[in-house]
Amino acid sequence: MNYVKRLLAAGAMSFAALPAFAAQNVTWWDFLSGGDGVRMKALIQRFNEEHPDIQINGTTLEWGVPFYTKVRTSVTVGQGPDVMTYHLSRMPLGLEENVLDTISDEDMAAAGLSKSDFFPASIAAASDENGALHAVPFDIHSIVLYVNKSYLKGSRFLDDKGNVTGIESLADFEEAMALAKANGSDTPLSYATGDDGGTYRVFYTLMKQQGGELIADGQVLPGDNLGKAAKAIEIMTHWHEEGWQPEQAEYPASVALFTSGKSAFHMNGVWEVPTMIDLAAQNKLGFEWTAIQIPTLLGTTATWADSHAFAIPAGSKMSPEKRKAVMTVIGWMEKNSLAWAGAGHIPAYKPVATSESFKEMEPNATYSSLAETAAYDPRSVIAGVASPVYDASINIISPAMHGYMDPQQAAEQLQAELQAKLH
C-alpha cells in the first residue's frame, strides 16, 4: 500500500514538474465543419508551427445541440476543454448554465487584446448584465443574398458595372424573383425551407426589418410584434405559393439549387462564400455570382447575425501558465483572423476588419456594411443556436409557410409555445 502511495506521489510530482520545461498542451473543442473547419484546422496548424512551446490539440464535435450538451455536461464535471468555440447567441443560456469563465482585462492583456479592439455590439453580446466578459468575439457572420447575375441580365436590377441594384422594397424583390422565374429560374429564391436554421434566419431578418422583436422583457412577441411575426410568415408563405422558394429544401439541397444554377437568389450564411469562390475558381459554377447584404425589404435595414467566439470553461483548475497559453492562442487567432475571413466571415477584431487587406477581400467587403446593422438573436435562454427558437422554426414556421397552417395562427402558436418555455 505504502509503495503504491509513494508511486502515485512520485507520479504527481513529476507531472507537476512537467510544465516548466515541456510544451503547454491546449485542449481545443470546436463545432466547425465544411469550409469553416478546413480554415480553422489550417489556422491551428499554423499556430502550432509558430509556437513550439504551445500545442493545440483540436477536436471537432457536432454543431448544435450535441456540441452544447457535451460542453455543459463535461464542464460541469470538470472534464471540459481548455478553450472552445461558442456562439454569442448562445451566451444567455451559457451564462445560466454557468459554463463560461470570466475573461478578465488581465487575460485580454495577456492575449495582447483589449475590449475596444472589437465591434461594440459583439462585446455587448459577449458580456453578462454586469459587463463582465465571458467570451472573446472572433467574427460576425450573418446571412447574405447570393445572386446569380445571369438571370438579371438586361433588367433594371443590374447596373452598367454588373452590380446588383434597385432592390429597395419587398415589391422590388418579388419583381426580381418573378423576372428570374420568367427567365427560366426554377426556384428563384433558394434557402433551406425545410431546415430550422435556414427558416429561422430568414424569418428573423424579416421580423427585424419591420422593427419587430421576437422576445422583449421576458415576453414572446409582445404587442404588435405578433402581427409582425404573422406578416413575416405570410411573406414566406407567399413566396412558397408563387413557387419562388423550394419546397422542404434541406440545407445541402438549398445550396445545390443555387450552385447548379437553378436559383437566381440564395439566402444563406456567409460561410458558403468559400464554396462559391472555389467552384467559380474551378469553372464549375457556370455563371457570374455575387453576394450582397440582404436588401431592405421592409423599411428597416437589418440582417440576422451571430458571432463565433472563444470561451474558457468555468471551474477549470488551470495553472496560470496554461491560462496564459490559452490567451496566447486566442490573441493569435484574432490577429490572424483575415484567414478566417476567407470563410466568408467578417472579423470581429477591428484592426483586421478595417485593414486594407480585408477591404480588398471580395465579396466580404461588399456586404461587410451589414456589421453595422447586424441583428443578434434576442438575449434569452430560449434563443440562439440549437435553442427552442430554432426548434419552433422547424416545428411551426416551416410547415406553416408550406401551407399547413394560417400565418396568424402559426404566429400565435409560436408565441404560446415559446412563452411556455420561458418559465
Partner 1 sequence: MAMITNRRRDVAVAMSLIAPFVVTFALVFLYPTVRMVLLSFTDAPLIGNGHWIGLENFKRLMSDRLFFTSLKNNGYFVLLTVVPTTALALAIALTINRLKGALQALVLALFFLPYILPVSVVTEIWMWMLDFQFGIIQPLFASLYGKSIPVFKNPYWVMPTVAAVTIWWTNGFNVLLFIAGLRNIPQDFYEAASLDGATRWQMFRRVTWPLLWPVTALILTLQLILQLKIFDQVYLMSKGGPFNSSYVLLLMVYREAFQLNHGGYASAIAVVLFVVIMVVSVLQFQLLRSRGQK
Dist CA 377 CA 89 (whole Å): 6
Nearer to partner 1, 293 or 387 (CB): 387
Cell of residue 123, nine digits? 462585446
Minimum distance of partner 1 from residue 192's CB (angstroms): 12
Residue 260 interacts with partner 1 (CB under 8 A): yes or no: no
Residue 406 interacts with partner 1 (CB under 8 A): yes or no: no
Considering only 109-117, 224-232, 234-242, 386-394, which stretch makes contact with partner 1 by CB under 8 A? 386-394
Minimum distance of partner 1 from residue 146's CB (angstroms): 20
Residue 245 interacts with partner 1 (CB under 8 A): yes or no: no
Q: What is the DSSP letter of 272?
A: G
Considering only 176-184, 273-281, 299-307, 394-402, which stretch makes contact with partner 1 by CB under 8 A? 394-402
Cell of residue 351, nine digits? 484592426
Which H/E stretch holds residue 122?
A: helix 120-125
Burial of 201 (0-12, 13-18, 19+ CB in 10 A): buried
Among 187, 387, 407, 418, indicate the residue that binds partner 1 (CB under 8 A): 387
Q: In sequence order, what are the residues at sequence separation of 6 or more whose Cβ sits closer than 8 angstroms to the Cβ of residue 158?
A: 149, 152, 164, 165
Dist CA 358 CA 352 (whole Å): 7
User: What is the size of the binding site for partner 1 (CB under 8 A)?
Assistant: 35
Give the SS3 label for residue 12.
helix
Whether residue 363 is preceded by a cis peptide bond, meaning omega within 30 degrees of 0, is yes
Nearer to partner 1, 76 or 150 (CB): 76
Residue 404 interacts with partner 1 (CB under 8 A): yes or no: yes
Distances 200 to 208, 232, 233 between C-alpha atoms, Å: 12, 11, 10
Nearer to partner 1, 162 or 243 (CB): 243
Residue 417 interacts with partner 1 (CB under 8 A): yes or no: yes
Minimum distance of partner 1 from residue 49's CB (angstroms): 38
Short-list 264, 270, 269, 268, CA closest to 244: 264
Residue 388 interacts with partner 1 (CB under 8 A): yes or no: yes
Cell 407567399 appears where? 238
Minimum distance of partner 1 from residue 387's CB (angstroms): 7
Nearer to partner 1, 62 or 278 (CB): 62
Minimum distance of partner 1 from residue 189's CB (angstroms): 16
Nearer to partner 1, 257 or 294 (CB): 257
Which 36-65 positions form the footprint of partner 1 (CB under 8 A)? 65
Minimum distance of partner 1 from residue 68's CB (angstroms): 8
Minimum distance of partner 1 from residue 423's CB (angstroms): 7
Which H/E stretch holds residue 198?
A: helix 196-209
Dist CA 305 CA 354 (whole Å): 19
Residue 92 interacts with partner 1 (CB under 8 A): yes or no: no
Q: Are 113 and 136 in contact (CB under 8 A)?
A: yes
Short-list 304, 307, 383, CA closest to 125: 307
Among 399, 406, 408, 412, indicate the residue that binds partner 1 (CB under 8 A): 399
Residue 391 interacts with partner 1 (CB under 8 A): yes or no: yes
Nearer to partner 1, 274 or 399 (CB): 399
Residue 183 interacts with partner 1 (CB under 8 A): yes or no: no
Dist CA 277 CA 134 (whole Å): 34
Minimum distance of partner 1 from residue 32's CB (angstroms): 21
Write the single-letter amino acid at 117. D
Considering only 106-114, 138-146, 234-242, 382-390, which stretch makes contact with partner 1 by CB under 8 A? 382-390
Short-list 30, 20, 31, 24, CA closest to 48: 24
223: left (phi over 0), alpha (psi -120 to 50) or beta: left
Dist CA 68 CA 104 (whole Å): 23
Residue 379 interacts with partner 1 (CB under 8 A): yes or no: no
Residue 421 interacts with partner 1 (CB under 8 A): yes or no: yes
Minimum distance of partner 1 from residue 396's CB (angstroms): 6
Give the Cβ contact number of residue 412 at 10 Å.
17
Residues that bind partner 1 (CB under 8 A): 65, 69, 72-73, 76-77, 93, 96-97, 194, 196, 247-249, 253, 381-382, 386-388, 391, 394-396, 398-399, 402, 404-405, 413, 416-417, 420-421, 423
